Structure 1
Amino acid sequence: MQSIETRLARLAKTGDRGAFADLVDLYKDKIYHLAYRMLGNRQEAEDVVQETFLRVFRSLERYDESMKFSTWIYRIGTNLSIDRLRKRKATYSLDAEVAPDGEGTDWHGMLASEEPTPEGQVLLSETQRRIRDAIETLPKKYKSVVVLKYLHDMSLQEIGDVLDMPVTTVKTRVHRGREFLRKKLEHEDIR
């Protein structure tokens, strides 16, 4: 049985603009969150979303229907994000992406906390910030697999398909990325 995405892609190939719009609606937020987690910058993430759908539109005739559409589009979004990371100059800002009105924070930061006390909310927010900051420091080769595994809940096989690498390599990079984060967070606790 075909997935809805495959049917929409087939219709979009024939020029059905509504089908393409449906694909955009299905994946725009997912690609945005992927790009934002990899790049840590709202504007760049929005640019990656636009570039991803532009590439999808231009390449629809080459889409192989035996492949999951989600794998194909995640591969495009991930590769565009990695390209942007490679082109970046090393610039760091302690207050990047956080404005006084809260604009620019990621959607995780806007979720209501289940902690009833303000102290608990501050601790949760601080923990999320520490983890997000630690992810930012991951080497590129670990960052993409960690983001896909833990923030997009992809299986090792799906990550291997997206990044076009063997599952054993993905498994190793997930493990090393997790170890890197653990050591980074432990080091911060010591200070």
Structure 2
Amino acid sequence: MNEKSVHISELFNQFHKDVYHFALYFTNNQQDAEDITQETFLKVMKNLHQLKDSQKVKTWILSITRFTAVDWIRKQHLRRVFTKALSNKSYEADMNSRSVIGKENWEDLQRALIKLKPHFRSVIILRGLNELSIKETAEVLQCSEGKVRVSFHRALLELKKDIRLKEGWESYDRS
């Protein structure tokens, strides 16, 4: 692909929100998500010449984002930081109940996502939260569509299991 036909600023303007949201869901940390977004677009800029099909630019960028996020977690050992960050959060006294409920749901979602292995977490973020198709998700994850289907199903089962345990339903669901 010709670098002149696609400018990095156009790619950034078009896809930075998708990249940032993926990174935020993946890490549950705004600063880390911003750093991953920045690192992703540096990699995009360096490797733009490798993009062969401009129709797949979004999945190509999200694939870079995924690998960047996984590497980020490995390097930073963020799993230990998540627990501390979540337990130390405080809410302002003047927040209305609706926004507190939103934050609690966000934290519940993040806690459940963090418990998933990285591949399942990626599938849930791409399919469930970013609403990519099975084909697009397979391209981002560089795996088969069948693996995406199975992984999405298994990841949803893990999330549901986590929710049931949290709500005290574990005694009713054992077989």
TM range (shorter): 0.7 to 0.9
Distance 1:99 1:27, change over 3 A: farther
TM-score normalized by the length of structure 1: 0.75
Gaps of 5+ in 1: 1-8, 102-117
Which runs of structure 2 are paired with 1:66-85 in the superposition (5 Å)? 67-85=55-73
Partner of 1:57: 45
Q: 1:155 aligns with which of 133, 139, 160?
A: 133
The correspondence of residues 118-129 of structure 1 with structure 2, limited to 5 A, is 122-129=100-107
Identity %: 26
Structure 2 unaligned runs (5+)?
A: 170-175
How many equivalent residue pairs? 163
Query: How far did residue 75 of structure 1 move?
Result: 0.6
2:4 paired residue among 14, 21, 27: 14
8 Å contact kept, 1:42–1:97: no
Write out aligned runs for 1:1-191 (5 A).
Answer: 10=2, 13-14=3-4, 19-65=7-53, 67-89=55-77, 90-91=79-80, 92-95=83-86, 98=89, 100=91, 122-190=100-168
Shift of 1:143: 0.6
Q: Take 1:134 and 1:50, find their aligned partners in 2: how far apart are those partners?
A: 26
- Over residues 153-183 of structure 1, what are the superposed CA-to-partner deviations in whole Å (9 max), with x where a residue is unaligned? 1111111000100111111111111000000
CA distance in 1, matches of 2:32, 2:13: 19
2:43 alignment partner AA? R
In structure 2, the CA distance between the partners of 1:97 and 1:56, relative to structure 1 (3 Å rule), is farther
Distance 1:65 1:175, change over 3 A: same
Distance in 2 between the 1:29 and 1:99 partners?
26
RMSD: 2.5
CA contact (8 A) 1:41 1:97 kept: no
Shift of 1:45: 0.9
CA separation of 1:44 and 1:124: change in aligned 2, threshold 3 A: closer
